[in-house]
Amino acid sequence: VDIASTVVRNSDTELAVALSQAVTIVFGETWCVRYYSGASVWEFDTTVLSYDGDT
């Protein structure tokens, strides 16, 4: 399932996003991420570590 999101924080230790729709969060679940930056597209697997209701 593709879920659009907006990057709200990007640092050396985290990539935080605001999702475009409500989803069920399962901590430890692996997500496949596509991150578009200019002409580049990064695709990687990541794990859900936290959820604060907004990001």
Domain boundaries, the chain: 5-47
| Rounded-to-integer distance, Cα 19 and Cα 53, Å | 10
- 51, two tokens: 């959820």
pTM assigned to the model: 0.69
| Rounded-to-integer distance, Cα 45 and Cα 31, Å | 6
Average pLDDT of 18-33? 90
| Rounded-to-integer distance, Cα 41 and Cα 55, Å | 21
pLDDT of 39 strictly over 90: yes
| Rounded-to-integer distance, Cα 13 and Cα 1, Å | 26
- 50, two tokens: 């936290």
